[in-house]
């Protein structure tokens, strides 16, 4: 029983940390250019391969985004659900949607979990490269 209580307390602290970091002005807290440093798949840390080392996610204050993934540029609209701490990306060219849970955010680091990837549990670790966003 005690491990369950401890786990619940840790979960509440993590949720409180994300909500506190997002605060009142959540858009300005998250709207910046984020460089993808590394990722983990099923808990195994992976450094970015050479072709992905310049990948980034630029979340603008007008809710548009630019994402460079494996050297390819994508644009679209993004939104933040403050209640669930999830980011939704909607790609302009094909209206595809992606959902990410915010695991950690501060002014220099963002940790996102890809929501659709239930099998591999992909987590991305990003660092802020500039603020405010404008590429």
* Count of domains forming the chain: 1
6 lies in some domain: yes
How far, in Å, CA of 11 to CA of 29, rounded? 22
- Residue 87 inside a domain? The answer is yes
Domain that holds residue 95: 2-130
pLDDT at residue 100 greater than cutoff 60: yes
Structure confidence by residue, pLDDT tens digits, 31-77: 999 999 998 988 889 887 888 888 899 999 999 999 998 889 999 99
pLDDT tens profile 9-38? 333 334 344 444 455 477 778 999 999 999
The token pair at 134 is: 């404008």
pLDDT for res 9: 36
33 assigned to some structural domain: yes
What are the C-alpha distances in Å from 6 to residues 63, 84, 119? 37, 22, 26
In this structure, what are the phi and psi dihedrals at residue 90, rounded to the nearest 5 degrees? -120, 115
What's the pLDDT at 54? 85
Within a domain: residue 39? yes
At residue 23, the pLDDT reads 52
Task: Kindly state whether residue 135 falls inside one of the protein's structural domains.
Answer: no
CATH at residue 62:
2.40.128.280
């Amino acid at each position: 029983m005690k491990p369950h209580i401890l786990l619940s307390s840790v979960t509440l602290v993590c949720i409180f940390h994300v909500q506190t970091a997002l605060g009142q002005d959540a858009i300005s807290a998250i709207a910046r250019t984020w460089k993808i440093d590394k990722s983990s798949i099923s808990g195994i840390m992976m450094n970015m391969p050479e072709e992905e080392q310049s990948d980034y996610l630029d979340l603008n204050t007008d809710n548009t985004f630019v994402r460079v993934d494996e050297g390819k540029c994508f644009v679209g609209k993004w939104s933040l659900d403050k209640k669930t701490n999830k980011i939704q990306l909607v790609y302009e060219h094909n209206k595809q949607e992606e959902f990410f849970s915010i695991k950690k955010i501060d002014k220099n680091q963002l940790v996102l979990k890809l929501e659709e990837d239930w099998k591999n549990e992909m987590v991305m670790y990003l660092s802020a490269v500039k603020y405010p966003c404008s590429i």
